[in-house]
Structures are given as structure tokens and as C-alpha cells.
Structure 1
Amino acid sequence: MQARYFEREEDGRLRCTLCPRACRLADGQAGFCFVRQNVGGRMVSLAYGRSTGFAVDPIEKKPLDHFFPGTNVLSFGTAGCNLGCRFCQNWSISKARVAERRSQQWGPREVVDLAIEAACPAIAFTYNDPVIWAEYAIDVAKEARARGLKTVFVTAGYVAERAREEIFAHMDATNVDLKGFTEDFYRKVTLAHLAPVLETLAWLARTDVWVEVTNLVIPGLNDSPAEARALAAWVGEHMGAEVPLHFTAFHPDFRMLDVPPTPPETLARARAAALEVGLRHVYTGNVHDREGQTTRCAGCGEALIVRDALALASYRLAGDRCPRCGAKLAGRFGAAPRTPGDGRPRYLGLA
């Protein structure tokens, strides 16, 4: 598939303009992400149409707690990634080349057909970072919107300015994974940089896209209360106090098998720090923590949506307002959620 987002260099190489890496590719070379390649002077997307699998997930798994909570979403990804996170928890996909993953062609119409058949009102581009397969995500999103479905972009936010404008013009919601809050962490642990992610987040806050932010808390690396407080304060100042922030637990994986899981107490401290600096909707994830996963009214404190991990226990929101005081809850909400249940994903198998 012919790709966009590149410029031709004087020496014949193609410079990718999709993400801040700006990979310069000679004929036959692929970028850091493995899926964008110079083939005979043409930039090609090797990932276009090639899904490594589909699943029906609760929207809370993305995680999105203020975007049609209690509904299901068709989730899928491809192969490759433009970050090099040592802790990657989807490494079998994100660190693989397309040829190493069993996959078949799924055109945009076929993906939307599958979502409709699975009774999913939304499609999520996830598992590996959809930035690297932007053309495919955009085409699926166009088809989805034309047929009345919502779109969700789950990303690390490592994307160039021109590309992000086109990508997010077709998205209804996004969760951006803010890996840490120091340049040292980004450079050493993700092989990337912090500044472009912060630029993406600040820009998104000025758009109509619903945005939530996730921080995976890793013991000994980015788990200090001071960092949690600084991160939350930045979100409040540059994105707004109503933006939901998720602190989620790490489990040993990929190249960090020697790091212990995140204690629930660490997440609770991070959440408390974020609430203290003024954020109104702060959550914990990857743990059982009913209070840390409950959506409360920012006005009166009423419990509006009660969760336990991905399970929806109760839903008391009246449209988009608190039934007790009438205050409006920030987010996007529908008439009724799915039946409360355990929130387990339903895998549809590899494509």
C-alpha cells in the first residue's frame, strides 16, 4: 500500500514525516517501526489491511471511563511500533515484523462489517501504536463514521504535527499513554523523547476529540509521589482539570522481568496526589480497586459509575448529569450501557 507522510531527500532516500523519529530510508530499508519501507523509491505501508487479531472489549479496557461507559468496542492492531519500551506488554505484536505475524487482509469495509456483526458501536485502533499504520486507521475511521460508528485511537502520542492533524480529524476519542514525566525515563526506557508527547497532549486538549491519559507506574522508574504530582499538575494546567487520568499497574514483561509488579498502595498514593493538585477524575487500573475506579460527581461527590477492574457494577448517570445535584459530567455519554458484568474481553481470533 502506498504510504503518505514522507519527503524525498537529495540523496534519493525517503524521510518519513509520520513521527518524530524522521527515519531516513534507502531503497529496501524499513523504519524503526518495521512497517514503513522504501520500496523502489516509494514509501510503502506494510501494515495496511493486516490485522493480527480482533477482540470485543469493554471500552473501559482502553482505558476510557468517560466515553460511552459500559459499551463494547471492536479492538484490533497490526505489527510493529515506533517506540522501544523495555516494559512493553504487547511486545509479541509491537516488536514483530508483519511477516512474523499470522495475518490476512482486512479492508476498511470488512472491519466495519465485523464491528456491526459483533454489535460494537465503536472501533478501537490499539494493541500496537496505530500512529505507524495511520493510513489504514484513517480509512477504517472514514468507513466507520459513514456507517454511524465511533472511533477510538489508543496511542503513545509520538506523532509529528502535520500527521496528527489528519489522523485525529477522523477520531472521536483517544487514550494517550504518557509513559513517564522525565526526559531521562523516555530516552532510556522507551528510546523516545518526552517533549513531542506533551505537545500532542496539549494540542489534543484544544480539539473536539475526547481525551483521557494513562500513566503505567513502574516500581523504581517512574513511581515517585513527586513525579505523579508533577505529571498531574501538568495535565491540569495544559489540558484541564476535567481530563481523566489513569494510573495503571505494571506487571513484569518483555525486558523487565526483574522488576516487581506495582503495589496497589503506590497507585493509591499517585491518585491521591493527582486529586490534591485539582484533577477531578483520577483512576487506578490493572488492579481491583472499586473506589479508585468509581466515577464521582465533581460537584457533590455522588458515585455515578461504580467499577471493579473492568466490571461495571452500577450506572446512575442521568444522561450526562448527576441525578443528585444536576452537575454535568465531562465526557461523551449515551442512553444506556451494556448489562453490568465482569468486563471480560471476547476474542474473535487472529485474522
Structure 2
Amino acid sequence: MSHNAWLSKKTKNGKILCEACSQACILDEEEYGICGVRQVKDGELKLLVYGLAAAVNIDPVEKKPMFHFLPKSKAFSVGTVGCNLSCQFCQNYEISQYPKEHEHKITGREFPPDSIVELAIENNCASIAYTYNEPIVFFEYTFDTAKLAHERGLKNIYVTSGYETHKAIDLLEPYLDGMNIDIKSFSNEFYKDICGAKLKPVLDTVKYAYNKGLWIEITTLLIQGQNDSDDEIRSIAKFLKDIDDSIPWHLSAFHPTYKMLDIPRTPASTLHRAYKIAKEEGLKHVYVGNIDDNDYESTYCPQCKNRVIDRSGHIGSLVTNKLDENGTCPYCRYKLEGVWS
């Protein structure tokens, strides 16, 4: 379904600049953006996946992962095909890389914004998560949906690689409540060689979203021999600590997929080592992911150290939240950072 991609502008030479993400594609007639779902037609940039969902699910919000955002609630999750990155380890490559690997073919079922919102409400979801592929590539679709969702009392979450432009974040900010942002590595070479991107725009997005007052959580997929050294883990931890030591950091296990089938699954010992380093650097809230580990997935009060949110089972299937609607610890009255109501 084609729709004007209005987050764009014409350049002096008549080409179109896409202003959604930091790839900053400048396109001529019929050319596609790096994402594969934004194309110039008749002198205007079109979003080819507007209203076309490739993946829809109702998930625990913990699966996003968002651990300090309405615990135990349900998130209505939606994504399209297309992505502005080309990560060789992509866990959802079947949809994210689909247009690039199928000669620009677009797939998905019709699912307009009002239908998403209605179905989310019918299923008692507290939020809508734009996820599975990179949401900024279908910005206009997410914007219209998020605006309707807010009008109906739902919150909105971006699960993203962090390549949004500041302009995009400014436009989304009135309707966006949370972001889980990937910091895939602290190496620009890693981003360039493995993801087809750069590190700096991601770090800029983390800082900018935080300064806009959005609730942010960070995820890093640790890949053996690629981004799991002590120095790199420590560098990311220090970067986050310099912004705010209460930003939750999710350290997740890689499993062989897509173009990285020759690298073994990340062992739990690597996640535990990274967790220890992050704690040594002073981060309050650190979690492991993609393994079932009750102790390392639960939330502890930074002040009294008691367990205040207990998580067990597979990806948020069993959650016991002892905090009140203000995020207050029942043991010492410390107010934990997050979105609790």
C-alpha cells in the first residue's frame, strides 16, 4: 500500500532527501532507499508498506524487552518488511531484509492504524510496540498509529536500532512513551562491516531521546569474538553511566542465524561476565536476555537490594511486581526509575 512519505524534502537538484533516518538517502525518480520500502515515484517519496503488517503479535511487554515499563502488561506488537540496516546476525531477517532479497517485492496484510488500535484495546493491551523490523523505516505508519493510540489511552514503544533523525524523534515525541534502543557494538568498524551503518548516530539518538524525556532501555546482543570483549562492554557501560546510571541495559545471547551461522551461541558465562562489568561501572539496572535466568532477569531495588520485580519462565511469562503505581519499593520506599502506570 503506497502512501506519501512526508518526512522528506526536495533538494536543489530535484532529488528527494529522506529525513526519517541517519542513512539520509538522496533519491532520484524510481530509486529505493536503503531500507527497501521508501521509493520516489512521480517526484515524491512514497512509503510502500503503509498499512501493510508483516508481523503482528500480542506479547508481554517484557519481551520487547522493556523491564521498567508497565510490568506484566501486554504490548500489541506490529512490524512491516524492510530495514535501514543489514545486520548479518539479524534475528528477524525474513521480514527485515525481505525487499532487498526479493527484488524490491513488498509483502504484508492490510492493517490500517485504526484497526491496530482497536485490536489492541480489544485484547487489553496497555501499549503498542513498533518492532520486529526497524520502525523508523515505516515512520508515517507508526506516527499515525501512535497518535490514534494516545487518543485512546494507549502508550507507544519503539524497538529500534537507534538510527532515527532528531526531526523524526521531535515529531514522534508527543505520542511516544518508550524506546528500546540497540547499541550493537561500541566499534564503528563493527557497525560498518556487519550492520551497514555507523556508531555515532546511534549514540546521538540515545542521548537525544533521553534528553527529550522518553523512557529508554538499551539492548546489546553479545556475539562471541565480535563485540563481547571486556573493554567493549565496559565502554558501553561507561557511556550509559555518563548519561544516567538508571538506564536499564539488556545483555542478550546471540544464536546462529542469517549470515552468522558459523558463530556459536553466546554462553551464559559471557552474559554473567558482562553483567558484572556493567555493575562494576555503576549501572543500577542490568539484565540478561535470550536465556532463562531468574536471578539475572529480576529487578532489585538499588537502595535496599531487595528483589522488587521477580521474573521467571520464558521471556516475561511469570512476573511478580511488588512496586506500587509510582514504582516505590515496598521495603525502603526508594522510587525506582521507569514508567509504572
Whether the 8 Å contact between 1:297 and 1:322 is mirrored in structure 2 is yes
Judge conservation of contact 1:52–1:101 (CA < 8 Å) in 2.
no
Match of 2:237, SS state, is helix
1:32 to 34, 37, 44: 34
Q: Aligned Cα RMSD in Å?
A: 1.4
Is residue 248 of structure 2 the alignment partner of residue 241 of structure 1?
A: no
What aligned pairs does 1:108-257 form with structure 2 within 5 A after superposition?
108-238=113-243, 240-257=244-261
1:275 is aligned to 2:282: no
Q: Is the 8 A contact 1:74 1:123 kept in 2?
A: yes
Unaligned runs of 5+ in 2: none
Change (3 A) 1:69 1:192: same
Question: Which residue in 1 is equivalent to 2:97?
Answer: 95
Q: Which amino acid aligns with 1:166?
A: L
Q: Determine if contact 2:157/2:177 at 8 Å carries over to the other structure.
A: yes
**Residue number among 64, 67, 70 corresponding to 1:65 in the alignment:** 67
* Alpha-carbon distance, 1:82 to partner: 0.3
The aligned residue for residue 316 of structure 1 is 322
Aligned length: 333
Offset at residue 164 of structure 1 (A): 2.0
In the alignment, is the contact (CA less than 8 A) between 1:87 and 1:252 conserved in 2?
A: yes
Q: CA deviation at 1:15?
A: 1.9
Deviations 1:38-76 (A, max 9, x none): 001011010111101210100000000000011111101
The Cα shift of 1:102 comes to: 4.2
* Rounded Cα–Cα distance in structure 2 between residues aligned with 1:318 and 1:6: 43
Displacement, 1:100?
4.2
Higher relative contact order (CA 8 A, sep 6+): 1
Alpha-carbon separation, structure 2, partners of 1:302 and 1:237: 25
Higher mean displacement: 303-312 or 43-52: 303-312
Give the letter aligned to residue 81 of structure 1: C
Moved >4 Å (runs of 4+)? 98-102
1:345 equivalent in structure 2: none
Structure 1 position 21, deviation (Å): 1.4
TM-score (ref. length: structure 1): 0.92
Correspondence for 1:340:
none
Which has the larger displacement, 102-111 or 56-65?
102-111
Q: Which of 5, 8, 11 is equivalent to 1:3?
A: 5
Corresponding letter in the other structure for 2:208: W
Q: Match for 2:290 among 274, 286, 290?
A: 286
In structure 1, list runs of 5 or more residues that go unmatched: 335-351
Equivalent pairs: percent with the same residue?
Answer: 39
The SS at the match of 1:205 is helix
Distance of 2:67 and 2:109 partners within structure 1 = 32
Return 260-269 or 166-175, whichever deviates more. 166-175
Counterpart of 2:288 in structure 1: which amino acid? T
Contact 2:37 2:106 in 1 (8 A): no
CA drift of 1:19 comes to 1.4
